[in-house]
Structure 1
Amino acid sequence: MAKGKGKAAAARKGAAGGPRAPAARISAQQLYEQAQLALKFDDFDSARMALRKAVKMEPKNVEYVDALGALLAEVGPEEEAVEVLKQSVVLSPDTGYEKYLYLGQLLESPEDALAATRKGVSVLQATHAAAQAAASKEAPLLSKALAAAMCSLCEMLMGLAAARDQEERERQAEASGQGAGACGGAGPSGGGAGLAAVAEEVEHMLSLASTADPNSPEPGQALASLRYEQGRPAEALEALKRSMALWYTPSAKEGEEEDEEGEGAGGSGRGKKADGDDDEAMEDASGSGSGDGSESGSEDEDDGSPSYEFRIESAKLLLELEDTTSTAIDVLEGLIEEDDRVPDAWHLLALAYYSGHQYSEAAEVLAKGQALLKAMGAGPEDDITHVFSDLESAIKEALALEGQQPAQ
């Protein structure tokens, strides 16, 4: 019976015209197009798979390699992203600035990351100049990209300089027998030789960034950070105010406080962009800042406001530079209203209240932040838990001195 069935099947196959013709092989270009379509629907897995196949078929096609490297840089895995991006560098070292900027984010060595970012800025400058000369419609977008890349490079330069200065302070402390703990941070003490060595380059690059994109608050905030590290707080605050005037409008609450107290504090940080007429008000405003870049900033970027992370850094600088805390508080309250799932925002808001001697409010805010940490699964051994605990102890001590009890 079984043999009879096999013969019948074979006969049917023969009657159908013999073996089937092989399916047509999909081309690398078709795979690339499939990936682009998948990306429109945020189907990253399908896009990644298609691009991997396209690159395997045509490993020297820069367009395919660049596309795969960029996607891997965004969604991972990072190790493969670095490998593919380096492949693109070999294929086309003087075109395609994006690969260098991605490598600047992904490379583990700070020196290698800095070199990649510096090369990316150089390639982007050439691309931008060519677009401007040709009056290309891409020129405005390239202007914004150039300003952002220059600011990133400046931040890397300052970060490396600060690390080197810290190492030098620790070395000197050990040599003098004081121990590393005696060094502390540079703070607004004027920095060290490392910062002094890069300061001129950073200032020049930030000036170019401001020229490339006058509406970006990033160069001003980066300059505020530099001036703060140089021990020039008044200039830092002035630079920060100019930066914040590009995105920061006083909230109704802060406006009322200004009327009552006669102070220049105020601003919501709720992602509203100030008009030019608000510049004078901002000059009166108290505050300094630098920013935060968490995922929470995506909605703000859509309406032209800086990212969530950028505004958190602004609040941090405000707390360092401004005598009053009302502006920092208003910025942070706006951020929490926007997204209340960021522990750093809760901690900074509690710190702002504490620094403004509003201890009951600080305790209440900190408790909400600690509840968030618990819900997120943070344990007692985590660094952020210790950071919250330290502030909690300080708040309780301040309340005890005032004869108050922390809110339950």
Structure 2
Amino acid sequence: MGGANGKSKKKKSPRDGKSGGKSANYKKTGMKGGMSGDNATNKNTNGKSSTTRGALETQIESALTHISYDRIEQGLLELKDICKKNSTNVDALETYAYALAEYGDQEEALDALRDAAKANPDSGYEKFMYLGQLLDDGKAATACTKKGLDLLEEQMKKGDASVADRHCSACCALAEQILGCRDEEDGMDGDNAVDDETAKAVEELLKRAQHSDKESAEPMQVLACLRNEQGKKDEALKYLRESIARWRKPMQLVQETKKERDIYERKRPAPGAKDYASSSEDDVEKEEKEEKDDDDDEEYTPRFQDYEVSFEFRFETAKLLLEIDTSAALAIEILEELLEERDGIVDVWYLLAYAHYGANELDDSLEIIEIGEKLAAKSKDTGVLQEDEAEGALMNFAELKHVIEEVRRECDEQVK
């Protein structure tokens, strides 16, 4: 199993357009860095000879190879050095900016993206989509995302088929930002305050998105968000279910044993949970015996959990389900699948604990809270989470635990 506790394996580099980095818009639009895109067609930009440019391409490829094999620090250092030696080269600046946006410090990424935007303001939509993702100012972020979408559409008009499949996601990204930053407008109180102009702008973008990719699940999910913000819960749930139906078409990946199926059905904690949960010697002996017995079990059934949409998209699906659906069952199922893929994400453990609380499965919720607290503490010690992030996560777990204890106390009093 991959994820935080899995073995290191080759990842796609920023130039491949898909990775496990932190920029949601990057994943949505499938952006490419390095020598790809518009700049790849101009072999002698910046007055460089083809030989010099070929050497630069080789250096950039070498740096990206380090990143793709999890040697991220080395790859970033090489790209930084390349930029110092080629300070006016657009390809170098953009590749370094995209890599930082995915794997580096956010402030450094913003500086690099701004430099790339100044050096090449009229082409290369990716840097503007990244800026839209990383900027804290909602209006500025939305303006950058719009600029990125405009540039992408210009490339499409010029016949660049390589970006056509990213148009739908780019439209959805802008629609989400318009919806998300409306609270910054004067007179908005943030409580279902979606004015007609905002709703119309979002719906128009979603129509364009659907026209670009009729099979995509993204437009329906964003439309569900819009209806939810408008207070139209029934419509929101309808559109969300339509979205889920489009991506939840599983493909058979592997055959699983009865033991693995038991884990999936939550007869024991999700994969990786034993790294954080406390257990007695008797529990350990019992588990070892079960593992030995299961080794001889030849019963196999298909396991389905490979989807076209991203990990982050499914996480947002689960969050929205918990907001608008009266049942937490599907949200729990999605979150457990996410933990099978990557069991080191604290936010997923918290949302799963919250989902079980919402389903009135308090014992399960408390068990997951314990796992999440230990994971948050461990992530803080290992540097996976910043101190403030870890403390915030621990506070969330503590608050949820307190609520559950209050509910139990009230139930006990009613019984008496």
**TM-score category, normalised to shorter length:** 0.5 to 0.7
Determine whether 1:214 maps to 2:239: no
**Per-residue CA shift, 1:51-73, capped at 9, x if unaligned?**
55554555444333333332333
Give the counterpart of 1:86 among 114, 119, 128. 114
- Which of the pair has more CA radius of gyration? 1
Q: 1:329-344 counterparts in 2 under 5 A?
A: 329-344=332-347
SS of aligned partner of 1:234: helix
Q: Is the 8 A contact 1:73 1:81 kept in 2?
A: yes
**Match for residue 146 of structure 1?**
167
TM-score by length of 1: 0.65
Misfit runs of 4+, over 6 Å:
378-381
Q: Are the aligned partners of 2:66 and 2:74 in contact in 1 as well (CA < 8 Å)?
A: no
Report what 1:264 is aligned to.
none
Secondary structure of the residue aligned to 1:363 is: helix
Q: Does 1:244 align with 2:244?
A: yes
The CA deviation at 1:80 is: 4.6
Q: 1:382 is paired with a residue of what secondary structure?
A: helix
1:386 aligns with 2:395: yes
**Partners of 2:216 and 2:341 in 1: how far apart?**
21
Checking the alignment, whether the CA contact within 8 Å between 2:172 and 2:218 is kept in structure 1 is: yes
TM-aligned CA distance change 1:52 to 1:330, over 3 Å? closer
Residue in 2 that maps onto 1:398: 407
RMSD (Å) for aligned C-alpha atoms = 3.2
1:205-250 deviations in whole A, cap 9, x for unaligned? 1111122123322211111111100111111111101111122259
Structure number with greater CO (CA < 8 Å, separation at least 6) is 2
1:322 aligns with 2:347: no
CA distance in 2, matches of 1:324, 1:49: 49
Pair 1:365-2:368 in alignment: yes
Q: 1:340 Cα shift? A: 2.4
Task: Report the secondary structure of 1:221's partner residue.
Answer: helix
Q: Percent identity among equivalent residues?
A: 33
How far the C-alpha of 1:123 sits from its partner, in A, is: 0.5
1:95 partner letter: S
Q: Deviations over 1:170-197 (max 9, x none)?
A: xxxxxxxxxxxxxxx62xxx4244xx33
SS at match of 1:245: helix
Q: Spell out the pairing of 1:156-305 with structure 2 (5 A cutoff).
A: 156-164=177-185, 168-169=188-189, 186=191, 190-193=192-195, 196-248=196-248, 304-305=307-308
The alpha-carbon deviation at position 157 of structure 1 amounts to: 1.0
The partner residue of 2:57 within 23, 28, 32 is 32
What is the SS of the residue equivalent to 1:102?
Answer: helix
Q: What corresponds to 1:14 in structure 2?
A: none
Does the C-alpha gap of structure 1 residues 31 and 315 become closer, same or farther in structure 2, counting only changes over 3 Å?
Answer: same
Letter in 2 for 1:308: F
Equivalent residue for 2:127, pick from 99, 104, 108: 99
Residues 1:335 and 1:77: Cα distance change in structure 2 (over 3 Å): closer
Does the Cα contact within 8 Å between 2:87 and 2:93 map onto a contact in 1?
yes
Is the 1:28–1:53 contact (alpha carbons within 8 Å) kept by the matching residues of 2? Answer: no
- Corresponding residue number in structure 1 for 2:293: none
d(CA) in 2 for partners of 1:124 and 1:373? Answer: 39
CA shift, 1:345, in A, is 1.9
Which structure 2 residues correspond to residues 307-318 of structure 1 after superposition, within 5 A?
307-318=310-321
Q: Structure 2 counterpart of 1:325, which letter?
A: A
Alpha-carbon deviation of 1:369?
A: 2.2
Residues 46 and 388 of structure 1: is their aligned pair in 2 closer, same or farther, counting only changes over 3 Å?
A: closer
Count of aligned pairs? 302
Alignment-derived partner of residue 289 in structure 1? none
Residues 1:213 and 1:365: Cα distance change in structure 2 (over 3 Å): same
On the 8 A contact 1:36/1:47 being kept in 2, the answer is no
Query: Aligned in 2, Cα 1:199/1:367: closer, same or farther, shift over 3 Å?
Result: same
CA separation of 1:250 and 1:376: change in aligned 2, threshold 3 A: same
Equivalent pair of 1:28/1:55 in contact (CA under 8 Å): no
